[in-house]
Amino acid sequence: AGPASLSRLRGALVAAVLGDCVGGEFEGAEEVPLDSVLKHLDSLDEEAKGSGILEYSDDTAMARCVVQSLLTRAGFDEQDMARRFAKEYSASPGRGYGSGVIQVLKKLSSPQLRDVYQPARDQFNGRGSFGNGGAMRASPFALAFPDLSDVKRFARLGAMLTHSCSLGYNGAILQAMAVHLSLHGALELPQQFISRLISEMEEVEDDELTRMDARILKEADKPFCERLHRVRDLMGRNKVSIEEVISELGNGIAALHSVPTAIFCVLHCLQPRDCLPVSYGGLERTLAYCLALGGDTDTIACMAGAIAGAHYGIEGVPQAWIRCCEGAEDAVMSAERLYMLYHRV
Protein backbone atom coordinates (compact mmCIF):
# COMPACT_ATOMS: atom_id res chain seq x y z
CA ALA A 1 0.00 0.00 0.00
CA GLY A 2 1.15 3.55 -0.74
CA PRO A 3 2.25 6.07 1.89
CA ALA A 4 -0.52 7.12 4.30
CA SER A 5 -3.06 4.93 2.48
CA LEU A 6 -6.40 4.17 4.08
CA SER A 7 -5.20 0.61 4.65
CA ARG A 8 -2.19 1.81 6.65
CA LEU A 9 -4.24 4.23 8.74
CA ARG A 10 -6.77 1.51 9.48
CA GLY A 11 -4.03 -0.97 10.29
CA ALA A 12 -2.48 1.45 12.78
CA LEU A 13 -5.67 2.40 14.58
CA VAL A 14 -7.12 -1.12 14.67
CA ALA A 15 -3.94 -2.96 15.67
CA ALA A 16 -3.45 -0.54 18.59
CA VAL A 17 -6.88 -1.58 19.90
CA LEU A 18 -6.05 -5.25 19.40
CA GLY A 19 -2.76 -4.88 21.27
CA ASP A 20 -4.55 -3.30 24.20
CA CYS A 21 -7.33 -5.93 24.24
CA VAL A 22 -5.18 -9.05 23.80
CA GLY A 23 -2.45 -7.67 26.06
CA GLY A 24 -4.80 -7.13 28.98
CA GLU A 25 -4.67 -10.83 29.81
CA PHE A 26 -1.01 -10.62 30.88
CA GLU A 27 -0.74 -7.05 32.20
CA GLY A 28 1.51 -6.99 35.25
CA ALA A 29 2.62 -10.62 34.89
CA GLU A 30 6.26 -11.16 35.74
CA GLU A 31 6.88 -14.10 33.51
CA VAL A 32 4.74 -15.14 30.58
CA PRO A 33 5.43 -18.53 28.98
CA LEU A 34 5.18 -18.31 25.21
CA ASP A 35 2.80 -21.28 25.31
CA SER A 36 0.27 -19.25 27.28
CA VAL A 37 0.52 -16.42 24.78
CA LEU A 38 -0.08 -18.73 21.82
CA LYS A 39 -2.98 -20.44 23.59
CA HIS A 40 -4.54 -17.07 24.40
CA LEU A 41 -4.19 -15.87 20.81
CA ASP A 42 -5.47 -19.21 19.45
CA SER A 43 -8.60 -18.85 21.54
CA LEU A 44 -9.45 -15.65 19.64
CA ASP A 45 -10.30 -17.68 16.56
CA GLU A 46 -12.90 -19.59 18.56
CA GLU A 47 -14.21 -16.59 20.47
CA ALA A 48 -14.84 -14.86 17.17
CA LYS A 49 -17.38 -17.57 16.36
CA GLY A 50 -19.64 -16.43 19.13
CA SER A 51 -18.55 -16.28 22.73
CA GLY A 52 -16.72 -13.62 24.74
CA ILE A 53 -15.24 -10.28 23.83
CA LEU A 54 -11.99 -8.83 25.13
CA GLU A 55 -12.50 -5.38 26.63
CA TYR A 56 -10.21 -2.47 25.95
CA SER A 57 -8.54 -0.53 28.77
CA ASP A 58 -7.38 3.04 29.52
CA ASP A 59 -5.03 2.96 26.51
CA THR A 60 -7.86 2.67 23.99
CA ALA A 61 -10.34 4.68 26.06
CA MET A 62 -8.00 7.70 25.94
CA ALA A 63 -6.93 7.13 22.33
CA ARG A 64 -10.60 7.19 21.35
CA CYS A 65 -10.93 10.59 23.09
CA VAL A 66 -7.92 11.86 21.13
CA VAL A 67 -9.42 10.63 17.84
CA GLN A 68 -12.87 12.07 18.53
CA SER A 69 -11.39 15.40 19.60
CA LEU A 70 -9.14 15.70 16.56
CA LEU A 71 -12.04 14.81 14.25
CA THR A 72 -14.63 17.06 15.89
CA ARG A 73 -12.31 20.06 16.15
CA ALA A 74 -10.57 19.30 12.84
CA GLY A 75 -7.25 19.72 14.69
CA PHE A 76 -5.81 19.98 18.18
CA ASP A 77 -7.91 21.71 20.84
CA GLU A 78 -6.56 21.15 24.35
CA GLN A 79 -9.77 22.27 26.09
CA ASP A 80 -11.89 19.85 24.11
CA MET A 81 -9.43 16.98 24.51
CA ALA A 82 -9.12 17.53 28.27
CA ARG A 83 -12.90 17.58 28.61
CA ARG A 84 -13.20 14.31 26.74
CA PHE A 85 -10.57 12.61 28.94
CA ALA A 86 -12.40 13.73 32.07
CA LYS A 87 -15.81 12.69 30.74
CA GLU A 88 -14.56 9.29 29.62
CA TYR A 89 -12.98 8.64 33.00
CA SER A 90 -16.09 9.54 34.95
CA ALA A 91 -18.24 7.39 32.65
CA SER A 92 -15.93 4.33 32.89
CA PRO A 93 -13.48 4.67 35.78
CA GLY A 94 -12.76 0.93 35.82
CA ARG A 95 -10.62 0.72 32.69
CA GLY A 96 -7.35 0.22 34.55
CA TYR A 97 -5.97 3.76 34.72
CA GLY A 98 -2.65 4.41 36.43
CA SER A 99 -3.03 5.33 40.09
CA GLY A 100 -1.55 8.82 39.64
CA VAL A 101 -3.35 9.92 36.51
CA ILE A 102 -6.73 9.43 38.16
CA GLN A 103 -6.09 12.61 40.21
CA VAL A 104 -5.51 14.59 37.02
CA LEU A 105 -8.62 13.21 35.35
CA LYS A 106 -10.75 14.19 38.35
CA LYS A 107 -9.36 17.74 38.39
CA LEU A 108 -9.89 18.07 34.64
CA SER A 109 -13.61 17.65 35.13
CA SER A 110 -13.86 20.78 37.29
CA PRO A 111 -15.68 23.60 35.49
CA GLN A 112 -13.57 26.16 37.43
CA LEU A 113 -10.33 24.89 35.95
CA ARG A 114 -8.55 27.71 34.08
CA ASP A 115 -5.39 26.05 32.79
CA VAL A 116 -5.96 22.50 31.54
CA TYR A 117 -2.22 21.75 31.82
CA GLN A 118 -2.03 22.63 35.52
CA PRO A 119 -3.32 19.39 37.07
CA ALA A 120 -0.65 17.41 35.22
CA ARG A 121 2.08 19.81 36.42
CA ASP A 122 1.01 19.25 40.02
CA GLN A 123 1.62 15.49 39.83
CA PHE A 124 4.39 13.85 41.87
CA ASN A 125 5.40 16.95 43.87
CA GLY A 126 5.50 19.11 40.77
CA ARG A 127 7.74 16.80 38.75
CA GLY A 128 4.97 15.41 36.60
CA SER A 129 4.35 11.83 35.56
CA PHE A 130 6.87 9.86 33.52
CA GLY A 131 4.35 7.02 32.97
CA ASN A 132 3.56 5.76 29.49
CA GLY A 133 -0.01 7.11 29.60
CA GLY A 134 0.85 9.97 27.23
CA ALA A 135 2.61 7.67 24.77
CA MET A 136 -0.09 4.97 24.77
CA ARG A 137 -2.55 7.42 23.18
CA ALA A 138 -0.11 9.33 20.93
CA SER A 139 -0.55 7.34 17.72
CA PRO A 140 -3.66 9.20 16.47
CA PHE A 141 -1.61 12.40 16.13
CA ALA A 142 0.42 10.68 13.42
CA LEU A 143 -2.83 9.67 11.70
CA ALA A 144 -4.29 13.18 11.68
CA PHE A 145 -1.37 15.42 10.67
CA PRO A 146 0.79 14.81 7.59
CA ASP A 147 3.65 17.11 8.68
CA LEU A 148 6.14 15.65 11.13
CA SER A 149 6.53 19.01 12.88
CA ASP A 150 2.78 19.02 13.66
CA VAL A 151 2.91 15.39 14.79
CA LYS A 152 5.68 16.24 17.25
CA ARG A 153 4.12 19.44 18.50
CA PHE A 154 0.64 18.05 19.10
CA ALA A 155 1.78 14.68 20.45
CA ARG A 156 3.71 16.65 23.05
CA LEU A 157 0.84 18.96 23.98
CA GLY A 158 -1.64 16.07 23.98
CA ALA A 159 0.54 14.12 26.39
CA MET A 160 1.15 17.14 28.64
CA LEU A 161 -2.54 17.19 29.55
CA THR A 162 -1.68 14.34 31.94
CA HIS A 163 2.12 13.87 31.74
CA SER A 164 4.24 16.97 32.32
CA CYS A 165 7.58 15.23 32.98
CA SER A 166 9.79 15.34 29.88
CA LEU A 167 10.32 11.59 30.16
CA GLY A 168 6.57 11.20 29.80
CA TYR A 169 5.82 13.54 26.90
CA ASN A 170 9.04 12.80 25.01
CA GLY A 171 7.93 9.18 24.95
CA ALA A 172 4.70 10.31 23.33
CA ILE A 173 6.66 12.23 20.68
CA LEU A 174 8.78 9.16 19.97
CA GLN A 175 5.74 6.88 19.66
CA ALA A 176 3.93 9.29 17.32
CA MET A 177 7.07 9.72 15.18
CA ALA A 178 7.47 5.96 14.87
CA VAL A 179 3.88 5.66 13.61
CA HIS A 180 4.41 8.60 11.24
CA LEU A 181 7.52 7.03 9.70
CA SER A 182 5.90 3.60 9.46
CA LEU A 183 2.88 5.11 7.75
CA HIS A 184 5.27 6.34 5.06
CA GLY A 185 6.81 2.93 4.50
CA ALA A 186 9.99 3.60 6.48
CA LEU A 187 10.03 0.09 7.97
CA GLU A 188 11.02 -1.23 4.54
CA LEU A 189 14.52 -0.09 5.58
CA PRO A 190 14.80 -0.94 9.30
CA GLN A 191 18.33 0.44 9.75
CA GLN A 192 17.36 3.79 8.30
CA PHE A 193 14.17 3.76 10.35
CA ILE A 194 16.02 3.47 13.67
CA SER A 195 18.71 5.95 12.61
CA ARG A 196 16.07 8.47 11.69
CA LEU A 197 14.34 8.05 15.05
CA ILE A 198 17.66 8.54 16.83
CA SER A 199 18.48 11.71 14.94
CA GLU A 200 15.00 13.12 15.53
CA MET A 201 15.20 12.33 19.26
CA GLU A 202 18.66 13.93 19.44
CA GLU A 203 16.90 17.14 18.58
CA VAL A 204 13.87 16.56 20.83
CA GLU A 205 16.05 15.75 23.85
CA ASP A 206 18.46 18.61 23.27
CA ASP A 207 16.76 20.74 25.88
CA GLU A 208 17.37 21.94 29.42
CA LEU A 209 14.24 20.41 30.97
CA THR A 210 15.09 17.00 29.55
CA ARG A 211 18.62 17.21 30.93
CA MET A 212 17.30 18.24 34.32
CA ASP A 213 14.66 15.47 34.52
CA ALA A 214 17.20 12.91 33.34
CA ARG A 215 19.65 13.99 36.01
CA ILE A 216 17.03 13.79 38.77
CA LEU A 217 16.04 10.29 37.65
CA LYS A 218 19.69 9.26 37.23
CA GLU A 219 19.27 8.53 33.54
CA ALA A 220 21.62 9.24 30.64
CA ASP A 221 21.73 12.82 29.31
CA LYS A 222 19.43 11.94 26.42
CA PRO A 223 17.56 8.95 27.85
CA PHE A 224 15.45 8.01 24.83
CA CYS A 225 18.44 8.32 22.49
CA GLU A 226 20.41 6.02 24.72
CA ARG A 227 17.61 3.43 24.67
CA LEU A 228 17.25 3.69 20.90
CA HIS A 229 20.96 2.95 20.55
CA ARG A 230 20.33 -0.19 22.59
CA VAL A 231 17.48 -1.06 20.23
CA ARG A 232 19.89 -0.72 17.31
CA ASP A 233 22.46 -2.96 19.03
CA LEU A 234 19.85 -5.63 19.73
CA MET A 235 18.62 -5.46 16.12
CA GLY A 236 22.08 -6.30 14.89
CA ARG A 237 22.23 -9.56 16.82
CA ASN A 238 20.72 -12.76 15.48
CA LYS A 239 19.89 -14.30 18.86
CA VAL A 240 18.20 -12.19 21.50
CA SER A 241 16.48 -13.64 24.56
CA ILE A 242 13.36 -12.25 26.17
CA GLU A 243 15.39 -11.72 29.36
CA GLU A 244 17.90 -9.54 27.50
CA VAL A 245 15.15 -7.42 25.96
CA ILE A 246 13.64 -6.87 29.38
CA SER A 247 16.95 -6.02 31.05
CA GLU A 248 18.20 -3.78 28.21
CA LEU A 249 14.95 -1.99 27.35
CA GLY A 250 12.43 -2.74 30.09
CA ASN A 251 8.75 -3.73 30.11
CA GLY A 252 7.42 -1.31 32.72
CA ILE A 253 4.92 1.52 33.01
CA ALA A 254 7.47 4.33 32.50
CA ALA A 255 7.50 5.68 28.95
CA LEU A 256 11.28 5.22 28.92
CA HIS A 257 10.87 1.53 29.76
CA SER A 258 8.17 0.78 27.22
CA VAL A 259 8.21 2.97 24.08
CA PRO A 260 11.69 1.87 22.90
CA THR A 261 10.65 -1.69 23.82
CA ALA A 262 7.56 -1.46 21.61
CA ILE A 263 9.71 -0.16 18.74
CA PHE A 264 12.12 -3.05 19.22
CA CYS A 265 9.28 -5.61 19.14
CA VAL A 266 8.12 -4.28 15.76
CA LEU A 267 11.64 -4.35 14.29
CA HIS A 268 12.46 -7.77 15.72
CA CYS A 269 9.28 -9.30 14.28
CA LEU A 270 9.70 -7.98 10.73
CA GLN A 271 11.14 -11.43 9.94
CA PRO A 272 9.80 -14.83 10.94
CA ARG A 273 11.11 -16.02 14.31
CA ASP A 274 11.78 -19.62 15.34
CA CYS A 275 9.80 -19.29 18.54
CA LEU A 276 6.62 -18.10 16.78
CA PRO A 277 4.25 -20.10 14.54
CA VAL A 278 5.06 -20.00 10.81
CA SER A 279 1.37 -19.40 10.18
CA TYR A 280 1.67 -15.97 11.81
CA GLY A 281 2.07 -12.84 9.73
CA GLY A 282 4.22 -9.94 10.92
CA LEU A 283 1.49 -8.24 12.89
CA GLU A 284 0.57 -11.42 14.80
CA ARG A 285 4.25 -12.01 15.51
CA THR A 286 4.65 -8.49 16.86
CA LEU A 287 1.70 -8.67 19.24
CA ALA A 288 2.58 -12.19 20.42
CA TYR A 289 6.15 -11.10 21.13
CA CYS A 290 4.98 -8.08 23.15
CA LEU A 291 2.78 -10.30 25.30
CA ALA A 292 5.63 -12.73 25.93
CA LEU A 293 7.65 -9.90 27.52
CA GLY A 294 5.22 -9.61 30.42
CA GLY A 295 5.02 -6.38 32.43
CA ASP A 296 2.91 -3.63 30.88
CA THR A 297 1.80 -5.94 28.07
CA ASP A 298 -1.39 -4.13 27.05
CA THR A 299 0.37 -0.81 26.61
CA ILE A 300 3.48 -2.18 24.90
CA ALA A 301 1.31 -4.24 22.52
CA CYS A 302 -0.92 -1.23 21.92
CA MET A 303 2.03 0.97 20.93
CA ALA A 304 3.77 -1.74 18.89
CA GLY A 305 0.42 -2.56 17.27
CA ALA A 306 0.04 1.01 16.02
CA ILE A 307 3.54 1.08 14.52
CA ALA A 308 3.26 -2.40 12.99
CA GLY A 309 -0.31 -1.82 11.80
CA ALA A 310 0.82 1.28 9.90
CA HIS A 311 3.41 -0.90 8.18
CA TYR A 312 1.40 -4.02 7.32
CA GLY A 313 -1.93 -2.25 6.73
CA ILE A 314 -5.38 -3.59 7.59
CA GLU A 315 -4.78 -6.63 5.35
CA GLY A 316 -2.22 -7.78 7.89
CA VAL A 317 -4.77 -7.77 10.72
CA PRO A 318 -6.61 -11.06 11.35
CA GLN A 319 -10.37 -10.59 10.92
CA ALA A 320 -11.10 -13.03 13.75
CA TRP A 321 -9.12 -10.87 16.16
CA ILE A 322 -11.02 -7.77 15.11
CA ARG A 323 -14.31 -9.52 15.82
CA CYS A 324 -13.46 -10.33 19.42
CA CYS A 325 -11.88 -7.06 20.52
CA GLU A 326 -14.09 -4.30 21.86
CA GLY A 327 -13.75 -1.11 19.85
CA ALA A 328 -11.91 -2.67 16.91
CA GLU A 329 -14.82 -2.32 14.47
CA ASP A 330 -15.21 1.30 15.62
CA ALA A 331 -11.54 1.88 14.87
CA VAL A 332 -12.00 0.60 11.31
CA MET A 333 -14.57 3.35 10.78
CA SER A 334 -12.81 6.13 12.68
CA ALA A 335 -9.73 5.50 10.56
CA GLU A 336 -11.68 6.46 7.47
CA ARG A 337 -12.58 9.82 9.00
CA LEU A 338 -8.98 10.34 10.09
CA TYR A 339 -7.92 9.58 6.52
CA MET A 340 -10.09 12.44 5.27
CA LEU A 341 -8.73 14.79 7.92
CA TYR A 342 -5.15 13.74 7.15
CA HIS A 343 -5.55 14.36 3.42
CA ARG A 344 -7.83 17.36 4.01
CA VAL A 345 -10.50 16.07 1.61
Interface positions with ligand 8NA (CB under 6 A): 27-28, 57-59, 96, 98-101, 124, 127, 129-133, 165, 253, 296, 298-299
Residue number with CB closer to ligand 8NA (100 or 318)? 100
CA-to-CA distance for 245 and 32, rounded, in angstroms?
14
Q: How far is the CB of 305 from Mg ion (least distance, A)?
A: 13
Q: How far is the CB of 12 from ligand 8NA (least distance, A)?
A: 19
165 binds, among Mg ion, ligand 8NA, none (CB under 5 to 8 A by kind): ligand 8NA
Is 219 a residue that touches Mg ion (CB under 5 A)? no
Q: How far is the CB of 245 from ligand 8NA (least distance, A)?
A: 18
Is 298 a residue that touches Mg ion (CB under 5 A)? yes
Residue number with CB closer to ligand 8NA (9 or 61)? 61
Is 299 a residue that touches Mg ion (CB under 5 A)? yes
CA 111, 114, 115, 119 dihedral sign is negative
- In the three-class reduction of DSSP (H, G, I as helix; E, B as strand; rest coil), residue 10 is classed as helix
Buried b (16+ CB within 10 A) or exposed e, 85-116: bbebbeeeeebbbbebbebbbebbeeeeeeeb
Q: How far is the CB of 173 from ligand 8NA (least distance, A)?
A: 15
CA-to-CA distance for 168 and 156, rounded, in angstroms?
9
CA-to-CA distance for 304 and 179, rounded, in angstroms?
9
Q: How far is the CB of 165 from Mg ion (least distance, A)?
A: 18
- Per-position DSSP letters for 290-303, written without gaps between them: HHHT-SSHHHHHHH
Residue type, 107: K
Q: Which residues bind Mg ion (CB under 5 A)?
A: 57-59, 96, 296, 298-299
